[in-house]
Structure 1
Amino acid sequence: MEKTKKFKVAVIQAGSEIMDKEKGVLKTVRLIEEAGAQDAKIIVFPEAFIPAYPRGMSFGAVVGSRSPEGRKDFRRYWDNSITAPGPETRAIGKAAKQADAYVVIGVIEKDTAGSQGTLYCTALFFGPAGELLGKHRKLKPTGSERLIWGQGDGSTLPVFDTPYGRLGALICWENYMPLARAAMYEKGIQIYVMPTADARDTWTATVRHVAAEGRCFVLSCNQYSTKSMYPEEIASRTEFKELPEEMSRGGSCIAGPLGELIVEPVYGEEAILYAELDLDQIVESQFDFDVSGHYSRPDVFQLTVNEKEQTNTIWNK
């Protein structure tokens, strides 16, 4: 595939329309249109943008018990999660086509192949023809996320060959899994998308490390969200009294293949971060370090990745 060496990307730092997938899709479409009008060819959204990363919500769960109110919160979360493909992905795909851009967006996805009661934290990939190219399901939810999300498997670890480089994603703390990163490097990833819910300073260090280690461009995207964005009627709302108004401060950024920050982290606001990338910089960076090429030692180390779909097993429940 012929490559376009220089192109613009957009990282969208915005808050979800929490627990409202219809409004969430409308906001997504509007932001794609805005970024597309600036000629962005790759447009990236945060983790769990539709319908929400439910920061601060307990779902009425403590060790040994769950509350009826918490179950209702989960049902609302489930009701506003999406299927892929489905009507929501068709609307997003249409917007991607109109923008003539690749779109990567974090969603909460309903399982339609199994029990239908399991949700996954998923990154969806759309092409400029409006097609849903594929998905990546988060392999390991972190901490309390395991209460509400199932585990993905190796069947959704795609890296797509595009005119703007090889595009793929790992979600949030998957990027602390060395072998998951190694799998992406082995696939030749060049545009490495990192949707996240982590706004700490240590995350920026991770972004820079992955960019330098993988000799790739890293697009890290987080939400900016506040307590007032949450619906009053959710049961966990009463638990928010002691929480700060700013629930997630953002911190989205873009790093280059030597680990340098092309766009510094943005905090405290919704914003769209733009940058022009040049694929020739990847080749230049690999002069002295190519993680899956001349700097690898396949005679010493081998990586085995099981990319088969694991149906009806404990791993996807």
Structure 2
Amino acid sequence: MTYPAFKAALAHVAPVFLDKDRTVEKACSLMREAARNGAQLIVFPETYIPAFPVWCALQAPIHNHDLFRELAANTIQADGPELATIAETARECGIFVSMGFNEGTTVSGGCIWNANVLISDEGTVLNHHRKIVPTFYEKLVWAPGDGAGLVVSSTRLGRVGMLICGENTNPLARFTLLAQGEQVHLSTYPPVWPSHDPAVHENYDLKNAILIRAGAHSFEGKLFNLVAAGYLDREARDRLASRDQEAGRILDASPRGISVAIGPNGTPISEIMQEDEGLLYANVDLSQCVEPKQLHDLVGGYNRFDIFQLTVDRSAQRPIRFRANGTDEDNDTPEADTLTFRS
């Protein structure tokens, strides 16, 4: 058995706020930069295209209809031309890409999912995942996903799985990936996540929360965890602050997300990037995942499968199913299980 070793790039970067086309251009530029620097995998943040809807934490929903419309207009579809451009760039650069995006659908102009795709170095989609449950105020924007993307992809870099933000808190979701032999876990987060008014209550410590969750999953699974959080740039901050006199104060005092690589012992193997925008690089050597399994192998000898059993439904949700002559027709909705790009 061989154990791959490779360099990964974690994109601690901001989108071009609510502009899908320019954000795709920026993403492709970053992919080329990462490839030039020897990276074989690049991980982008949660809903990088075209933005994380942090405005839901800053104003009541009755004031945010215009932002929701703008976000909906800049969603992309999983088989659409924007991801096709990213996939073609991945093929040209010979780099694997994990991309977070706001996913739309032709079925509904207002239905948006928090989605992520893993694209191979040959430009093919290996996995398409939708966040199972939006967290707190995120429910104002995103529909709940399904279990179809709880998949570990076998690649030349190893067995790769991914979860989005708060999903990394869900032990059953995490075990679902571990039980498929996950060796490299991709975790994506927003740039900032206000939970309280910092003037009256201690805020959610996003940095500490990420380190706890990423470290726990790495330690339990004896795997590498590559964390990419977004970056709140001045353009997005000022635009949101201009909408409400309290918004800027809350944003400025709310803890930022971090990007970091965690090793199989549960501790960081890279710098922690938080305050600056850029690419963070980390070296991954899967041979380091083997020895720790002697202590705790949760999907092997350190479990009792005669006692514990987990059943996961990976059916893809559909708004409608058609029947003709008493049998199901082939499903031809935009959310087909096997993705091909449309130009």
State the AA in 2 paired with 1:92.
I
Aligned with residue 82 of structure 1, among 76, 79, 86: 76
CA–CA distance in structure 1, aligned partners of residues 276 and 88 of structure 2? 27
State the AA in 1 paired with 2:82.
E
Matched position secondary structure for 2:134: coil
Note if 1:269 corresponds to 2:276. yes
CA contact under 8 A between 1:223 and 1:248: conserved in structure 2? no
CA contact under 8 A between 1:227 and 1:246: conserved in structure 2? no
Which has the higher mean CA deviation after the structures are superposed, 276-285 or 248-257?
A: 248-257
CA–CA distance in structure 2, aligned partners of residues 235 and 183 of structure 1? 43
Identity of aligned residues (%): 33
The answer for the alignment partner of 2:167 in structure 1 is 174
Cα root mean square deviation, aligned: 2.3
Note if 1:21 corresponds to 2:20. yes
Matched position secondary structure for 2:27: helix
State the AA in 1 paired with 2:70.
R
CA contact under 8 A between 2:40 and 2:96: conserved in structure 1? yes
The answer for the alignment partner of 1:7 in structure 2 is 6
Aligned with residue 311 of structure 2, among 278, 297, 304: 304
Shift of residue 205, structure 1, vs aligned partner = 1.9
The answer for the alignment partner of 1:162 in structure 2 is 155
CA contact under 8 A between 2:218 and 2:265: conserved in structure 1? yes
CA contact under 8 A between 1:3 and 1:163: conserved in structure 2? no
Change (3 A) 1:38 1:248: farther
CA contact under 8 A between 1:166 and 1:190: conserved in structure 2? yes
Aligned with residue 249 of structure 1, among 252, 256, 261: 256
Q: TM-score, normalised by structure 2?
A: 0.83
CA–CA distance in structure 2, aligned partners of residues 90 and 139 of structure 1? 24
CA–CA distance in structure 2, aligned partners of residues 51 and 297 of structure 1? 44
Note if 1:293 corresponds to 2:300. yes
CA contact under 8 A between 2:240 and 2:247: conserved in structure 1? no
Q: Deviations over 1:231-269 (max 9, x none)?
A: 749984665243344766341100111112101321210
Which has the higher mean CA deviation after the structures are superposed, 247-256 or 269-278?
A: 247-256
State the AA in 2 paired with 1:185.
L
Aligned with residue 138 of structure 2, among 140, 145, 148: 145
The answer for the alignment partner of 2:233 in structure 1 is 226
State the AA in 1 paired with 2:34.
A
Unaligned segments of structure 2, at least 5 residues: 194-205, 321-334, 336-343
Shift of residue 57, structure 1, vs aligned partner = 3.9
Give the number of aligned pairs.
307
Change (3 A) 1:104 1:3: farther
Shift of residue 3, structure 1, vs aligned partner = 5.1
Q: Deviations over 1:49-72 (max 9, x none)?
A: 11001223469645xxx35xx222
CA contact under 8 A between 2:11 and 2:43: conserved in structure 1? yes
Change (3 A) 1:180 1:102: same
Shift of residue 30, structure 1, vs aligned partner = 0.6
The answer for the alignment partner of 2:189 in structure 1 is 196
Q: Deviations over 1:160-198 (max 9, x none)?
A: 100111111010011111111111111111110000126
The answer for the alignment partner of 2:126 in structure 1 is 133
Normalized per residue, the structure richer in strand is: 1
Unaligned segments of structure 1, at least 5 residues: none
The answer for the alignment partner of 2:102 in structure 1 is 108
CA–CA distance in structure 1, aligned partners of residues 306 and 54 of structure 2? 45
The answer for the alignment partner of 2:212 in structure 1 is 205
CA contact under 8 A between 1:230 and 1:237: conserved in structure 2? no
Q: Matches of residues 66-81 of structure 1 in structure 2 within 5 Å?
A: 66-67=62-63, 70-81=64-75
